[in-house]
Structure 1
Amino acid sequence: MTQPPPPPPPHQPPQGGGFGPPQDQPPQQQPPQQQPPQQPGPGFGAPQTPAQPPAHPPQAPQGMPPAAPPPQPGFGHPQSPPPGYGYPGQQPNPYTQPQNQPQNPYGQPPGYGYPQPGMHPHPHPTGPNGGGRKSNTTLAVIVAAVVVIALVVGGVWYSQSGDAGGKEDTATSSGGTGGGDDDGTGGGGSVPAGTEKVPADASSNVLFQVPSPKVEDDTTVVVSGSWLTDKAYVKSGVAEIVGYDPDKGTELWTIPLPGPVCQASKHVTDNLTAVAFEPAMPTKAKPSNGCTQIAALDLDAGKKLWTKTAEVGGQPIRFDNITVSGGTVAAGGSSGGAAFDLETGKPLWLPKANEDCRDSGYAGGEKLVAVRRCGTYDSPQLHIQTIDPQSGKVNSEYKLAEGVDYASVVSTQPLVVAAEVGESKDAVGITDVFSIDNATGKLRIRISVPGDQFEARCSGVTRIESCTGVVVGNDRLYVETKEHAGGGEYGRTNEIVAFDLATGKQTGQRADAGDRYTITPLRMDGGNIIAYKRPPYDKGGQIVSIDGGTFKETKLLENPSVKTVRDVETRMSPQYAEILYAQGHLYMSSVYASELGNPDDKRYLVIAFGTNG
């Protein structure tokens, strides 16, 4: 545990080895890393708005390889910012757009994974006063043009209208005929209150920092897993679980393990959770010993309750994911899944050898959902099953179309599943989201979330519930949009938009990040969305609460803008870090420990913030 390092003296190179944000004084313009192909300009008379620099430079996540250069806008896309991804608001006036803006002053490429989406204009068919006198011919031409543009817009920005349930060319479903768990309101009912208190002073200070653990040269070790209880902030280290005082950061207890944690449940029941870990430490000769061990943890007492393994065909199962639902621990992998009682470790069900179908993973929380893989490796079919946590009995089932290789569970109640149908564009394993009735297994609606418009990401290949940039609440899907040009001179920004899980249509709600910030939904707080605003290079990050009804944003926390603190915070990218917030406390932690990169680059496992009010 250390405190933030002091600011470097003048003219001293900053820490970070190139990973940190731009300096307070921008460096000289650097030649671009890759010259994009020349794009055709917009139509005659449209402003030639140059591309905008990112709100913050790309941050290489700790232990992760650098990203490929982002794709450029497609042919014919005007180089001007979209007005909020389908949100019906005021459209920009093409004759008042600033021209001759300077190019990227920092010589940085766009942010990680962010393309530069173009905008399809929405011209108004009438004059500024609601309709001047025009000839019939002129008016007909304008109306026809608007209809054509509206159709184009409908195919690009408004393609998320959703498919009604039961399209047999997409998927089939089986189950009862009841109405399910949903009230049919489509998210239009009253929004439950949240529990997060608004502080008198949202400005924060650094509570503590934990240095990144030492590992062997040229190795990367998984340190995923972080939890927060009333008594402790708990974080996985290298072959250990450590409990820290939530305010001071002093170590309260340590649970040693024989090998590193490879999977961790994000769900907690009565301060109990579970992890999967290796039976021994990796070496250069044997970089992995298999994720074969499962343990239940008491996060308040700092105790390991039990350790279990499972076998199929006489071989230990290597688990790819683990979750908790109620009093059950469920873990799955390519050889099948197993479940244990959370308190005692008693086996509840185990996989059978030579099955044509195997549980590849589980999602927990309010319900227990299995992603079951059937068929051949080259032509699988995925079954999404809501199961009884104690017996493993299937209560309902929905079958995705053949050829969908992997799926992730965004929410188990209501049941929302993300999958890649065909080939995704820019997203990680997502093209579509399926809203499914838990009780009947029938498809409610299918929503398109193309990767060139939305930043939702899932690692459905192995981790069943590892989606970022998307949360579910109020029978709605809240999705982070792609970063795009903002309203400032150099600003870039994004939004969170909402889809109705009953109709698949956008609700018209939109939460703006603000110029030079990007916003990511973290979780629900009753009917409100808790979101993190990733800051520009000269600001601190923010936590906001977004009212689920009005979408009004309330600031709950704002971090210091001191550069040495920003350098640590901006490395904790929401896509590659664990971010927990509760009652004025923000904890950001890495999921990898590595010696790769600059040896002088100081890295941290955890940074914790607390509000002053």
Structure 2
Amino acid sequence: MVAVLLAAGGGVYAAVGGDDDGKKPTAAPTTSAPSRPETQDPAPEPTGGGDHTGDRDGGESDPNDQRRPGEAKVLYQTPTPEVSKKNVEVPGFWAMKGYVVKAVENKIVAYEDDGGKKWTLSLPKAVCAAPDSTTGGRVVVAYAGHGKDSCSRLALIDLNKGTKVWDHPAPEADSFGGGYSSMGMAQSGDLVGMAWFGGSAVIRVSDGEELSPERPSAACSIDGYAGGKVLLRAYSCSTGTAKLQQLTPSGSIKWTYTVRKGYKVNNIFSSSPAVVSLIDQDRRSGGILAISDDGKERSSLALGKQSYQPECGTDLFGTTMANCEGVSASADTFYLPTEMTQDHGLGSTSEIHAFDLDTGKRKWAAKAAGRLLLPLNMDGKNLIAYEKPSYTAAGRVVSIGPDGGKPKTLLRLPQATQKTESGFYSATHVYRNGHFYIATDRVTGGGGTGEKLLLAFGP
């Protein structure tokens, strides 16, 4: 049997899929995910500082004063701002050339690589959903409208200039009861796909106008979208059928893949190449599939008896299809992290397994002792991965060649920020041009904990 572990916020559920002979899966969730918090208005202010408690005005010590030989430099640390309530989700993080942009409630702030502010933009209310991808330095975000849990306003933000280009209400297409709760968004080119509890829509990035791709029948509903190089959408029907579709740049349907009876798409790990996981109505896994560029099944990954643990965000209604960290794909290979296991020689270890997308077979495994090893992204033919910190040691950013082998250290993160690095409840990790960023996805609001909004490292 195949056990695939997916981290959901603070909990983990185990979904067990079919074995290599295609037998039907059996299993169920072991924990439930936390409820989705509401968001209101904050005002983030960046400072630096080390792991000492200090104050919000930058009274903390500089961790670079404790920097050891071979360790990365801390470019800056930004404390979390005062927020409207505890456990506030803060979606929206984008790495640009020479700076990064982070949304926190109703503020969107760009930080230079020295920690200084490049620009700050205020919205009327809190950002409640945002895609990971941008188009020419522009991104569409959703922010709170009227009423509880109504993520019903959209704005196009120019991340180069820090300006709002347009501002519109979200489309009412398929809306159930007028609410926009649990909004998921994905952007590709001039398209943004949105799905929420009871509705979905596709709009143009350039002007916010709604498009009308072919809609499924009344017995079906859009589950969610994934963006990047292309825009994919998944939908399922009360009849037990489900499909995955790729949209053209103009918003029409390029191809449709029909999922086997009784299953639907659970996560879209990669849009190009398309790699998805399946579940049935009892949330038992149907395995991981690679889909070709013309919408045909390319392979089914031979996961065997190994348990895997990508880090997937909380998604109670399944509307955010592409919310898993710790997975990566090249044109011919998919990278997936295992759960921590006991190795008699090394103690606790984790591995990254590389799967051939044409055959589904495992090509190689790379191992890390004492810490979780997570794929991040591709750098040419090499895989960039993050060795998460252990209880006593800081993390590392490593590179793994196309044939596997021992990971090569790119950045050894400093011991002075190990506690801060370990303290993120949920975070986005980005490696770009030699710099590594950790951006929180949730502000817990626990006073006096030294909680950070952003950590940035460089050589």
Q: TM-score per shorter chain, which class?
A: 0.7 to 0.9
* Contact 1:312 1:351 survives alignment (8 Å): no
Structure number with larger C-alpha Rg? 1
Letter paired with 1:357: C
- Tell me the TM-score normalised to structure 2 length: 0.79
What residue is the counterpart of 2:204 in the other structure? 341
Deviations 1:258-310 (A, max 9, x none): 22222211112221222222126xxxxx7x33111222221111112212210
1:301 to 161, 164, 167: 161
Matched residue of 1:567: which SS?
A: helix
What residue is the counterpart of 1:602 in the other structure? 450
Shift of 1:526: 2.2
What residue is the counterpart of 1:99 in the other structure? none
Matched residue of 1:566: which SS?
A: helix
What residue is the counterpart of 2:97 in the other structure? 230
What residue is the counterpart of 2:71 in the other structure? 203
What residue is the counterpart of 2:230 in the other structure? 367
State the alpha-carbon separation in 2 of the partners of residues 430 and 265 from structure 1. Answer: 26
Alignment of 1:175-254 (within 5 A): 203-217=71-85, 219-246=86-113, 248-254=114-120
Deviations 1:217-237 (A, max 9, x none): 5x3221121111114210111
Classify 1:385/1:353 alpha carbon distance in 2 versus 1 (closer, same or farther; 3 Å): closer
Shift of 1:583: 1.8
Classify 1:422/1:277 alpha carbon distance in 2 versus 1 (closer, same or farther; 3 Å): same
Shift of 1:608: 1.2
Alignment of 1:231-380 (within 5 A): 231-246=98-113, 248-279=114-145, 288-308=148-168, 309-312=170-173, 316=178, 318=180, 320-349=183-212, 355-374=218-237, 376=238, 380=240
State the alpha-carbon separation in 2 of the partners of residues 499 and 511 from structure 1. Answer: 12
Greater strand content: 2
Letter paired with 2:106: A
Letter paired with 1:275: V
Q: 2:410 aligned with 1:556, yes or no? A: yes
State the alpha-carbon separation in 2 of the partners of residues 410 and 224 from structure 1. Answer: 18
State the alpha-carbon separation in 1 of the partners of residues 167 and 330 from structure 2. Answer: 35
Letter paired with 2:235: R
Classify 1:381/1:257 alpha carbon distance in 2 versus 1 (closer, same or farther; 3 Å): farther
Shift of 1:479: 0.9
What residue is the counterpart of 1:536 in the other structure? 390
Deviations 1:416-443 (A, max 9, x none): 111224756xxxx85511111231x222
Classify 1:544/1:270 alpha carbon distance in 2 versus 1 (closer, same or farther; 3 Å): same
What residue is the counterpart of 2:30 in the other structure? none
What residue is the counterpart of 2:268 in the other structure? 409
* Regions of 4+ moved over 6 Å: 350-354
Q: Identical aligned pairs, as a percentage?
A: 29
State the alpha-carbon separation in 2 of the partners of residues 252 and 476 from structure 1. Answer: 38
Shift of 1:592: 1.0
Shift of 1:329: 1.9
What residue is the counterpart of 1:146 in the other structure? none
More off after superposition, 336-345 vs 524-533: 336-345
State the alpha-carbon separation in 2 of the partners of residues 589 and 487 from structure 1. Answer: 35
Classify 1:479/1:353 alpha carbon distance in 2 versus 1 (closer, same or farther; 3 Å): closer
State the alpha-carbon separation in 1 of the partners of residues 292 and 450 from structure 2. Answer: 48
Deviations 1:10-68 (A, max 9, x none): xxxxxxxxxxxxxxxxxxxxxxxxxxxxxxxxxxxxxxxxxxxxxxxxxx99xx65x4x
Q: 2:381 aligned with 1:518, yes or no? A: no
1:584 to 434, 437, 448: 434
Letter paired with 1:221: V
State the alpha-carbon separation in 1 of the partners of residues 110 and 297 from structure 2. Answer: 42
Letter paired with 2:421: E
1:500 to 353, 356, 360: 356
Runs of at least 5 residues in structure 1 that lack an aligned partner in the other structure = 1-59, 68-111, 115-155, 171-200, 281-285
Alignment of 1:365-444 (within 5 A): 365-374=228-237, 376=238, 380-390=240-250, 392-404=251-263, 406-421=265-280, 432-439=287-294, 441-444=295-298
1:473 to 316, 319, 330: 330
State the alpha-carbon separation in 2 of the partners of residues 113 and 384 from structure 1. Answer: 24
1:572 to 424, 432, 444: 424
Deviations 1:320-370 (A, max 9, x none): 211111122221224332222222323333797983333232111111111
Deviations 1:359-409 (A, max 9, x none): 2321111111111232x2xx543210112131x322211122343355211
Matched residue of 1:233: which SS?
A: strand
Classify 1:436/1:408 alpha carbon distance in 2 versus 1 (closer, same or farther; 3 Å): same
Shift of 1:578: 0.4
Letter paired with 2:448: D
Classify 1:542/1:237 alpha carbon distance in 2 versus 1 (closer, same or farther; 3 Å): same
* Contact 1:435 1:444 survives alignment (8 Å): yes
Letter paired with 2:258: K
Shift of 1:602: 2.3
Runs of at least 5 residues in structure 2 that lack an aligned partner in the other structure = 1-6, 26-68
Classify 1:353/1:530 alpha carbon distance in 2 versus 1 (closer, same or farther; 3 Å): closer
What residue is the counterpart of 1:186 in the other structure? none
Letter paired with 2:71: S
Matched residue of 1:269: which SS?
A: coil
Q: 2:332 aligned with 1:464, yes or no? A: no
State the alpha-carbon separation in 2 of the partners of residues 589 and 470 from structure 1. Answer: 18
Letter paired with 1:410: F
Classify 1:256/1:162 alpha carbon distance in 2 versus 1 (closer, same or farther; 3 Å): farther
Matched residue of 1:311: which SS?
A: coil
State the alpha-carbon separation in 1 of the partners of residues 163 and 419 from structure 2. Answer: 34
Matched residue of 1:537: which SS?
A: coil
Letter paired with 1:329: V
State the alpha-carbon separation in 1 of the partners of residues 229 and 109 from structure 2. Answer: 27
State the alpha-carbon separation in 2 of the partners of residues 320 and 205 from structure 1. Answer: 37
Shift of 1:589: 1.4
* Contact 1:546 1:554 survives alignment (8 Å): yes
Matched residue of 1:206: which SS?
A: strand
Alignment of 1:102-141 (within 5 A): none
Classify 1:306/1:211 alpha carbon distance in 2 versus 1 (closer, same or farther; 3 Å): same
State the alpha-carbon separation in 1 of the partners of residues 224 and 453 from structure 2. Answer: 28
State the alpha-carbon separation in 2 of the partners of residues 591 and 384 from structure 1. Answer: 28
